[in-house]
Chain A
Amino acid sequence: MAIVGVLFDGFAYGMLLFLLSMGLSVTLGMMNFVNLAHCAFAMLGGYVTVTLMNRLEWPFIATLPVAFVAAALASVLFERTLYRRLYRASDLDQVLLTIGITFMSVAAAAYVYGTVQQPVQLPSYLRGYVTIIGVNFSAYRLFLVGISLVITLVLVLALERTRYGAQVRAAVDNQRMARGLGIDVDGIFAVTFALGSGLAGLGGALAIDIVGLDPSFAFTFLIYVLIVVSVGGLGSIGGSFAAASLIGITDVAGKYYVPELGAFLIYLVMLAVLMWRPAGLFGRR
Chain B
Amino acid sequence: MSTDTMALDARRHIARQIRWRPAEVIFWLATLLPFVLFPTHLVLASQIAITALFALSLDLILGYAGIVSLGHAAFFGLGAYTAGLLSKHGWGEPLSGLVLSALVAGIVGFAASLVIARFRHLALIMITLGMGLLLHEAANSASWLTGGVDGLQGVKMWQVLGQFRFDLYGYTAYSYALAVLFLSFLLVRRIVHSPFGLALRGIRENSVRMTAIGASARAHVRKVYTISAALAGVAGALLTQTTSTVSLETLGFQRSAEVLVMLVLGGAGRLYGGLVGAIIFMSARDQFSGITPLYWYFWIGTLLVAVVLFLPNGILGGLARLRWRRR
Contacts and interface: CB of A to CB of B under 8 A. Distances in A.
12 contacts: A28-B122, A34-B122, A82-B305, A91-B121, A91-B125, A103-B300, A104-B297, A223-B133, A263-B133, A268-B134, A271-B134, A274-B127
A63 interface: no
Contacts of A111: 294-295, 298
B303 A270 contact: no
Contacts of A101: 301, 305
Interface of B: 62, 68, 70, 115, 118-119, 121-123, 125-127, 129-131, 133-134, 137-138, 140-141, 253, 257, 260-261, 264, 268, 294-298, 300-305, 307-309, 312
Given A82-B309, A92-B264, A96-B264, 12 more contacts: A91-B68, A93-B308, A96-B307, A99-B257, A100-B308, A104-B302, A107-B294, A107-B295, A219-B253, A260-B141, A270-B130, A274-B130
A165 interface: no
A34 B260 CA distance: 16
Which label, helix, strand, loop or mixed, suits the secondary structure of the A interface?
Answer: helix
Given A230-B126, A274-B130, A264 B300 contact: no
Interface in A254-278: 260-264, 267-268, 270-271, 274-275, 278
Nearest to A278: B123
Contact of B309 (A97, A219, A270): A97
Contact of B137 (A103, A107, A115, A264): A264
Given A93-B308, A264-B141, A223 B298 contact: no
A115 B133 contact: no
Contacts of A96: 260-261, 264, 304, 307-308
Contact of A274 (B126, B133, B296): B126
Contacts of A99: 257, 301, 304
Interface residues of A, number: 44
B122 A91 contact: yes
Interface string A81-113: 010011001011101110111111111101100
A257 to B, nearest CB: 15
A86 B308 contact: yes
Which residue of A85, A97, A101, A267 has the most chain B CB atoms within 10 A of its CB atom? A267
Contacts of B307: 96
